[in-house]
Amino acid sequence: MGAAPRKPVDVAFGRNYMPTWAFDHIKYFNGGSEIQLHLDKYTGTGFQSKGSYLFGHFSMQIKLVPGDSAGTVTAFYLWSGQPYILQTNVFTGGKGDREQRRFDPTKAYHSYSVLWNLYQIVFLVDDVPIRVFKNCKELGVRFPFNQPMKIYSSLWNADDWATRGGLEKTDWSKASTSTVARPP
C-alpha cells in the first residue's frame, strides 16, 4: 500500500520560479508564496520554473483579470523548447473556436493542472479533465517522453488578434489588469 499524499506546503515563489521579463510587474504576497502579475498598456510579465521536469503533476491556482479585459491573455503551460512536440489548442481544417467556458474565471481561484506521465497528458481545471492526450506511439503519434519541460506562466496584451481579430481593443482607462497566482 502506498503512502498517503502529503499536504501542500507554502513555498516562496523564488525557490522554484523566476521572472522572465518585466520584473517590476510582479508583486509578492504571503511571504512570497502568492504573486500578482500586472499588465499595463506597455507590457505584461511572466515567470518560469528554475528546473525542467520529465513527467509530473503541475498545478497553479489562478484568478483571472476581471472587468474590461478584452484581449488579455493569462497563460499557464509547459514548454519543451524547440521543436514543439505538443500544442493544446485544437484546430481542424484551419479553424479553432473550440474554447470551453464552464465558469467565470474572474470570480474565484481555479486550479489549472497538467498531469504528465509516460501514458498520457491530462489537462484539468478544478480537478476535472478537460483534455487528454494519450501516448499512441504504436500509431506513430509523437509524445513527449524524453524531453524535459519547464513551467511557464504569463500575462500579456493580445488585443491585436485575440478579440475577434483585433476588432475590440482594451480600454486602459477601465481595465483591471492584474492576475493572481498561487500554488495549490
Give 17-41 pLDDT, tens digit per residue.
999 999 999 999 888 888 989 988 8
Question: DSSP string of 78-103?
Answer: EE--SSP-------BTTB-------S
What is the pLDDT at residue 32?
86
Q: Looking at domain 30-88+103-177, does it have CATH number 3.40.50.720?
A: no
Quick: pLDDT tens for 71-111. Answer: 788 888 888 776 655 555 554 445 556 566 667 777 888 88
More confident residue, 68 or 159: 159
- Mean pLDDT computed over 54-78: 82
**Starting at the edge strand that comes first in sequence, how are the strands of the sheet with 45-49 ordered?**
17-21, 45-49, 150-157, 72-79
What is the pLDDT at residue 95?
56
pTM for the whole thing?
0.79
More confident residue, 45 or 165: 45
What is the pLDDT at residue 173?
78
- Mean pLDDT computed over 118-142: 90
- List of residues 6+ apart from 161 with CB closer than 8 A: none
